């Protein structure tokens, strides 16, 4: 089917009677395209009319339209000339799943972490005022889920006091992934019903309020937006929408309204069956088993109960799981309080979102030596969600936290074992990290040595190279060991299990080899490799050490495997680096033909 959508100018020229048909076409397009590539379906189905109204009421790109989080910007991309690129959505070198300035002058903010738009808008409005620019509008589109984040309220607090003419479009669909929680959700429910009156929180904070408006009525939303701009002051336009609107499978999905989907059949709404097991679902089973054995164990999530695998735990122990909304800082500080009160909290976050709560991890959990366990889903390279979602900073950040212990399981058995070990720690924080991927085959240890697992040791060859593989880099390290052995070099592969702090036995093991390679799927500087190099130096051991990891640059979106290979973290690349770095390097290294 060929789709022809109007550009921004053409959209403004449409008669009101033509708008419903365009909205229907956009929804059909979204379902067909996103089901082929995967992506954020439900949020975009919910903002079709809202986005149409935005582009009719404002003049993008002259007017700044900032989408909070940005996963709901697909309709914006369609209307700004990128519909033809949707077959490449979230693919290598293809269309990003979030706003991206390199794609279009209509995109401004690339950071897809939630609750940021109001602060961006506050700064943009201030810059307009300082320049005397009165012919440019600043618009922030934020969901009720993102409004549960503390940063959103910091921005709102400043906007209300500034008097600057910012239009805050509150897209209220009652949920983020799951239903929105807390006092804000109750207040918005009252506003939707026409209640709250003089107790309207936004008005009390210094902003005008318009609404509630039917977010699926283009004319109504457009009218409210034009009225808001005419006020020349900060205004909240409260639009009520339905996540997954117009796609029956999403509307029927009460769990998360098909927030994010993989490749699936658009007719049945079902993904192809797979026997593969994800790390997330495996974690869910293990934490539920541990919860049945320990009634002091509690779980905390930041608006992602299902995405982090806690639905089973919540079903079995509803009083012991706490969804705090998109509020990672609060999640960690609250966990500290739970630990002070005698509980063992397990804070379940995407690794990329731990960045937001570093201060609380350092000063609230670690400083008090509290037993808080962090479970970091989607650690390392995540793939199609791009630079803001790669969880590559966690080890570098947590490695600076005194008393922090970090574990990285390589397979299902190790996830179970390491998580159980982590929640037994009572004198400080722990972290267990795993990727956005399916769990691979079990990798048994040949030998255990003071907490280390020896996965491979060459026989009848000298101890040339030690490869230290963190977590799920173990399969690539073992592949590299086979390739290196073919060149006549002896190789030992060890999984430290507890990656940081450095196990002293690892230092002694390194000293018995001619070359050490560390392999990790986090940023190279500040992680396992950096810590081992320092430990060797502190022990007075001089040995060539090569640290392999993710470069300190923002990695684009694409397949996880391709990005790892581009970072030199596949078996061939590891082997080539090992051979070329070995003192008195053997031969000329490996060619791709030798792998086949």
CATH of domain 279-433: 3.40.50.970
**How are strands ordered across the β-sheet holding 515-523?**
447-449, 452-457, 491-495, 465-469, 515-523, 545-550
- Looking up tokens 């997954």 gives 244
The answer to whether 25 and 8 are in contact (CB under 8 A) is no
And the tokens for 589? 């290294």
Q: 568: how many CB neighbours lie within 10 A of its CB?
A: 18
In this predicted structure, what is the pLDDT of residue 585? 56
Q: Is 270 noted as a catalytic residue in this protein?
A: no
Strands (E), 429-524: 430-433, 447-449, 452-457, 465-469, 491-495, 498-500, 515-523
The angle formed by the CA atoms of residues 568, 102 and 126, to the nearest 5 degrees, is: 120
Q: How far is residue 44's CA from residue 243's CA, in Å, rounded to a whole number?
A: 8
CATH superfamily name and code, 19-252? Thiamin diphosphate (ThDP)-binding fold, Pyr/PP domains (3.40.50.970)
pLDDT single digits (tens) 404-463: 999 999 999 999 999 999 999 999 999 999 999 999 999 999 999 999 999 999 998 888
Domain-by-domain residue ranges, the chain? 19-252, 279-433, 449-583
In this predicted structure, what is the pLDDT of residue 588? 44
Q: Is 356 noted as a catalytic residue in this protein?
A: yes
Of residues 77, 90, 100, 356, which has the active-site annotation? 356
Architecture of domain 449-583: 3-Layer(aba) Sandwich (3.40)
pLDDT in tens, the chain (596 residues): 677 899 999 999 999 999 999 999 999 999 999 999 999 999 999 999 999 999 999 999 999 999 999 999 999 999 999 999 999 999 999 999 999 999 999 999 987 799 999 999 999 999 999 999 999 999 999 999 999 999 999 999 999 999 999 999 999 998 766 678 788 888 998 898 886 666 899 999 999 999 999 999 999 999 999 999 999 999 999 999 999 898 888 888 776 778 888 899 889 888 878 778 999 999 999 999 999 999 999 999 999 999 999 999 999 999 999 999 999 999 999 999 999 999 999 999 999 999 999 999 999 999 999 999 999 999 999 999 889 999 999 999 999 999 999 999 999 999 999 999 999 999 999 999 999 999 999 999 999 999 999 999 999 888 899 999 999 999 999 999 999 999 999 999 999 999 999 999 999 999 999 999 999 999 999 999 999 999 999 999 999 999 999 999 999 999 999 999 999 999 999 999 999 999 875 444 555 444 33
The angle formed by the CA atoms of residues 2, 4 and 9, to the nearest 5 degrees, is: 170
Same topology, domains 279-433 and 449-583? Answer is yes
Upper half-sphere CA count for residue 349 (Cβ side, 13 Å):
31
Q: In DSSP terms, which residues pair with 297 in a beta bridge?
A: 344
In this predicted structure, what is the pLDDT of residue 593? 44
In this predicted structure, what is the pLDDT of residue 592? 45
pLDDT single digits (tens) 342-401: 999 999 999 999 999 999 999 999 999 999 999 999 999 999 988 999 999 999 999 999
The angle formed by the CA atoms of residues 64, 69 and 75, to the nearest 5 degrees, is: 65
CA distances from 538 to 421, 516, 533, 534, 549 (A): 28, 16, 9, 6, 22
Helix (H, G, I), strand (E, B) or coil at 509: helix
In this predicted structure, what is the pLDDT of residue 193? 85
Q: Is 243 noted as a catalytic residue in this protein?
A: yes
Q: How far is residue 58's CA from residue 169's CA, in Å, rounded to a whole number?
A: 13
Q: How far is residue 264's CA from residue 53's CA, in Å, rounded to a whole number?
A: 30
Helix (H, G, I), strand (E, B) or coil at 439: coil
Of residues 56, 77, 243, 405, which has the active-site annotation? 243
* Buried b or exposed e, range 16-27, using 16+ CB within 10 angstroms: eeebeebbebbb
The answer to whether 199 and 132 are in contact (CB under 8 A) is no
Of residues 27, 245, 257, 328, which has the active-site annotation? 328
Q: Report the length, in residues, of the chain.
A: 596
Q: 124: how many CB neighbours lie within 10 A of its CB?
A: 21
Q: How far is residue 499's CA from residue 427's CA, in Å, rounded to a whole number?
A: 18
And the tokens for 126? 């201030």
And the tokens for 64? 């700044």
275's CB contacts (< 8 A; 6+ apart) are none
The pTM (predicted TM-score) of the whole model is 0.93
């Amino acid at each position: 089917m060929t789709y022809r959508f109007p550009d921004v100018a053409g959209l403004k020229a449409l008669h009101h009677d033509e708008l419903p048909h365009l909205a229907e076409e956009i929804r059909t397009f979204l379902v067909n395209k996103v089901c082929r590539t995967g992506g954020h379906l439900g949020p975009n189905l919910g903002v079709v009319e809202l986005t149409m109204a935005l582009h009719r009421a404002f003049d993008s790109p002259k007017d700044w339209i900032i989408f909070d989080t940005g996963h709901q910007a697909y309709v914006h991309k369609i209307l700004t000339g990128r519909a033809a690129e949707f077959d490449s959505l979230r693919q290598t070198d293809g269309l990003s799943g979030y706003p991206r300035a390199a794609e279009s002058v209509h995109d401004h903010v690339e950071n897809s972490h939630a609750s940021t738009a109001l602060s961006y808008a506050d700064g943009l409005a201030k810059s307009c005022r300082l320049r005397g620019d009165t012919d440019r509008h600043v618009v922030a589109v934020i969901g009720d889920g993102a409004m549960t984040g503390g940063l959103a309220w910091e921005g709102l607090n400043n906007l209300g006091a500034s008097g600057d003419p910012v239009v805050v479009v509150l897209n209220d669909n009652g949920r983020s992934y799951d239903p929105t929680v807390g006092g804000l959700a109750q207040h918005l429910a009252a506003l939707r019903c026409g209640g709250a009156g003089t107790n309207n929180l936004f008005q009390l904070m210094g902003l005008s309020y318009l609404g509630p408006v039917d977010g699926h009525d283009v004319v109504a939303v457009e009218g409210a937006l034009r009225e808001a701009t005419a006020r020349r002051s900060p205004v909240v336009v409260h639009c009520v929408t339905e996540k997954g609107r117009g796609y029956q499978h999403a509307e029927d999905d009460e769990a998360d309204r098909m927030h994010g989907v993989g490749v699936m059949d658009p007719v049945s709404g079902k993904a192809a069956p797979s026997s593969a097991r994800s790390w997330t679902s495996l974690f869910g089973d293990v934490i539920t088993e541990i919860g049945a054995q320990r009634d002091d164990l509690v779980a905390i999530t930041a608006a992602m109960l299902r995405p982090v695998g806690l639905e089973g735990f919540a079903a079995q122990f509803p009083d012991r799981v706490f969804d705090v909304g998109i509020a990672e800082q609060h999640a960690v500080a609250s966990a500290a309080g739970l630990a002070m009160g005698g509980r063992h909290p397990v804070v379940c976050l995407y690794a990329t979102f731990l960045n937001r709560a570093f201060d609380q991890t350092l000063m609230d959990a670690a400083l008090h030596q509290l037993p808080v366990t962090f479970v970091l889903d989607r650690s390392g390279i995540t793939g199609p969600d791009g630079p803001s979602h790669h969880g590559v900073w966690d080890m570098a950040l947590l490695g600076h936290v005194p008393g922090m212990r970090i574990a990285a399981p390589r397979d299902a058995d190790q996830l179970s074992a390491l998580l159980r070990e982590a929640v037994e720690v009572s004198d400080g924080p722990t972290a267990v990290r795993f990727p956005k991927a399916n769990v691979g085959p079990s990798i048994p240890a040949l030998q255990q040595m003071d907490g280390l697992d020896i996965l491979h040791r060459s026989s009848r060859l000298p101890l040339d190279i030690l490869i230290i593989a963190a977590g799920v880099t173990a399969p690539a390290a073992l592949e590299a060991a086979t390739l290196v052995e073919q060149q006549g070099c002896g190789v030992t592969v060890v999984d430290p299990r507890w990656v940081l702090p450095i196990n002293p036995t690892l230092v002694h093991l390194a000293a018995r080899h001619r070359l050490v390679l560390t392999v990790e799927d986090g940023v190279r500087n500040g992680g396992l490799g950096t810590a081992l190099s320092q430990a060797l130096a502190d022990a007075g051991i001089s040995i060539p050490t090569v640290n392999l990891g993710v470069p300190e640059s923002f990695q684009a979106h694409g397949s996880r495997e391709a990005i790892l290979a581009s970072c030199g973290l596949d078996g061939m690349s590891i082997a080539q680096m090992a051979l070329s770095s070995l003192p008195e390097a053997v031969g000329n290294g490996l060619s791709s033909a030798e792998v086949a």
